[in-house]
A = this chain, B = another copy of it.
Amino acid sequence: MLGSCFMSWIFLMLLLDHFLLISCTAAISTEASAMVIDGKSIAKEIRHEITTEISRMKDEIGVIPGLAVILVGDRKDSATYVRNKKKACESVGVKSYEVCLPEDSTEEEVLKFISGFNDDPEVHGILVQLPLPSHMNEQNILNAVSIEKDVDGFHPLNIGRLAMRGREPLFVPCTPKGCIELLHRCDIDIKGKQAVVIGRSNIVGMPAALLLLREDATVSIVHSRTKNPEEITSQADIIISAVGQPNMVRGSWIKPGAVIIDVGINPVEDATSPRGYRLVGDVCYEEACKIASAVTPVPGGVGPMTIAMLLSNTLSSAKRMHNFQ
């Protein structure tokens, strides 16, 4: 009796297994199975936490964090970014200071404003919107921002500290910081994982790699000179892609179950869209959804995190300057 029951049970298990196998295969081949990492709602949660902290700081010591943004020239995209940053500041209670200078301003004029903000105790963060007009030396201008107010985290001293064990940067660049924050908030383990960063830019790829290393991931950096990117990325538990190539990372580049953080925001022509284009990431989203365990959408993934991290850096700066815990 027991034996026959056991045999039936085994049979049932085998049958179930068979069905599960079929349904799984079906999911991989035709349906999305990855968790979508909702950057928009995580960023909202972070902005809410920042609002609470700012209000507490204001109540306890009467200080309001201030962010100065310098925009030179009349690039439409830059103007949009600056407008969005200003709105974000307002939404959490950061006071924003904006300077808009004409395209033909001199480097000296920009430096004069930076110097003013460096000295202004009500300004805790200074941001120079990039790119600058081509007649300006970007390096000179960024270096002029006081390291204590470099909320963008692009100063080489900050990057150096980020690269060094036992040193702490004053600020971590916003976009890569946002990538890691997404992993943390989704309870995705980094320690001991194999991570691949695609792209080695100063503002995303390199600092992202340094951050992953600080979190004890084994890190590989893949770039335009890499001969076999697919071979390398397909071994990764975590991929952070920041290259600006629409849909470059295909399903075959991804190890089943990997986590994908897609920093790319690339416009591609789309006649069906009212604007004539739509935004896609570096990663082929539909294919990634079928093979990865978690993936950030574009838009609505890393994008909203960048501004949230800028606000977070500005708050940290104000706290540090006023020694407020």
Contacts and interface: CB of A to CB of B under 8 A. Distances in A.
A139 interface: yes
B139 A206 contact: no
Contacts of A135: none
Interface string A90-104: 000000000000000
A223 interface: yes
B167 A225 contact: no
Interface stretch (A78-86, A107-115, A151-159, A292-300): A151-159
B227 A200 contact: no
Interface residues of A, number: 36
A226 interface: yes
A220 B218 CA distance: 7
A139 B167 contact: yes
Nearest to A154: B164
Contacts of A228: 194, 218
A165 interface: yes
A31 interface: no
Given A156-B164, A163-B206, A166-B202, 9 more contacts: A139-B167, A159-B160, A159-B163, A164-B206, A165-B206, A191-B225, A194-B227, A194-B228, A219-B220
Interface of A: 139, 155-167, 191-192, 194, 200-202, 206, 210, 213, 216-223, 225-228, 232
**Closest CB pairs A-B (n = 4):** A160-B160, A156-B160, A159-B160, A220-B220
